Structure 1
């Protein structure tokens, strides 16, 4: 056997940028992640054309899932038009031939940083969340070897203690984003830096969710119709951000998660975090026929 027999003709890059070996590994780990919901699966994180910490984990999962018939939506903290979101969306389209969209209803794959869309996702849609730190035990156990053993033993007592200390010190649980949540009654995960407002959207959802951290080389999943329960005490109920009475200054929409924009006079304006939902509301107010899906929240109250 000669060396030339083991090589292939030179190509600029494989379909979808990642090489076939990387995709095979990621597919195996993604299947394992689906089989064991919430459990972290290690993988060999490849180099992609963005810096680590800017969405490399989510990008690698999306590149593995993408195909020419896919329609891609990329969100950066709720916005479709940020530099990061637009660059990733354009890159995904160029290396795969997939379509691009801002509309949650049209997308087949939604890659997001820090937010889940306000419109409910369907069974045929996949949500890919970028995760900077996948380890929920890191704040209470910096030694990752011990943290792995704690996961194996389902030993989450230190997390409960942290939440209890927050209640004692502050009168309420202070954990905002990355709220630790129990998946399928077994593994505790950190649901990426999404706000508390978004965590209930993962519980018994119809869509498949992948969470991937390229810098930490870990991915995990929440399959459809899987229980996701935030860690709470029975006498201290889980509460989301109190945004029900806030109004978007651009679209006039109320009852959804808002971004606060400080003003020169010391006050604040509020803007709908899900930018595409705001655009739909503005166009509908102008008399245009706009298709909007059912939302997770109505007047600030979650509706399953």
Structure 2
């Protein structure tokens, strides 16, 4: 099957163009770089931006991991892995620590990433100012002038209506005290993982034709107020029912039989690795 495709699906010219946009994004942290988004055999909105980054970067000897909201086996993750496998010779892995390139939808893995790893995040809406400004020309002007009053106002309105900031995911962040950035719809729990991250983080929006980046050891601050500080999801006193993990992002499981509630690790690979280690200890 592989001989029917160019390596990593794209022709070399397309991959060079995407890499050039990626390099510019790395040089200007948080800045949205336009690029000529290519057609792929998956629908726009299902990870084409992240997949284009992955296909333009992966090469011989790479180990690629793909996750979708913490799961390695969702339909979206499996489809992307099948395309990568069909067009390259890279190894597809589950273990985060084995991966050199990680493509993710809506989660940052629980295991801290290393300097020799790259995290690619899929992004549906890269513009953090779009909710109050529909004009692309105006949002570009606001970014150029560092005019982010609207972003603060949206958070202020949430506090006035609900008593706290209610952004469950995609909470905007300030990058290097310069650009306000949409971190992709990761939960607020994952925002602090971006701050001073050892790994390179790339964000791609195929439908919106934008690439942006957070280079290693970059300052990332979630927008908040002095009297209403940023607060991530809390799971105090809760542990994973399968592996016993604490201080990780947990999914709430409601059992239909009796209505009871339990919790499981959202990161399935992390949970499985812990369980395998525990079984090894028991032996």
Per-residue deviation, residues 142-190 of structure 1 (Å, max 9, x unmatched) = 2222111111111000111111111122111111100100111111110
Q: Normalization by structure 1: what TM-score?
A: 0.89
* Pair member with larger Rg: 1
Per-residue deviation, residues 204-237 of structure 1 (Å, max 9, x unmatched) = 1110000000011111000001111111112222
Q: Which residue of 2 aligns with 1:277?
A: 270
Q: Paired residues, what number?
A: 279
Q: Which residue of 1 aligns with 2:32?
A: 40
Aligned equivalents of 2:236, 2:121: Cα separation in 1: 25
Q: Normalization by structure 2: what TM-score?
A: 0.95
Once the two structures are superposed, the pairs formed by residues 3-18 of structure 1 within 5 Å of their partners are 12-18=4-10
User: Contact 1:71 / 1:108 at 8 angstroms: preserved in 2?
Assistant: yes
Question: Are residues 1:172 and 2:182 paired?
Answer: no
Instruction: Measure how far apart 1:269 and its partner are.
Output: 2.3
Aligned equivalents of 1:56, 1:34: Cα separation in 2: 20
Aligned equivalents of 1:174, 1:267: Cα separation in 2: 26
Q: Which residue of 2 aligns with 1:191?
A: 183
Q: Which residue of 2 aligns with 1:66?
A: 58
Instruction: Measure how far apart 1:288 and its partner are.
Output: 5.3
Aligned equivalents of 1:143, 1:270: Cα separation in 2: 42
Question: Are residues 1:96 and 2:88 paired?
Answer: yes
Aligned equivalents of 1:138, 1:37: Cα separation in 2: 19
Once the two structures are superposed, the pairs formed by residues 54-133 of structure 1 within 5 Å of their partners are 54-133=46-125
RMSD of aligned residue pairs (Cα, Å): 1.4
Instruction: State which drifts further: 72-81 or 165-174.
Output: 165-174
Q: Which residue of 2 aligns with 1:218?
A: 210
Q: Which residue of 2 aligns with 1:238?
A: 230
Aligned equivalents of 1:246, 1:57: Cα separation in 2: 35
Instruction: Measure how far apart 1:127 and its partner are.
Output: 0.2
Residue from 125, 145, 152 that aligns with 1:153: 145
Query: 3-state DSSP class of the match of 2:67?
Result: strand
Larger helix proportion of the pair: 2
Question: Are residues 1:139 and 2:120 paired?
Answer: no
Query: 3-state DSSP class of the match of 1:226?
Result: coil
Once the two structures are superposed, the pairs formed by residues 192-211 of structure 1 within 5 Å of their partners are 192-211=184-203
Instruction: Measure how far apart 1:267 and its partner are.
Output: 3.7
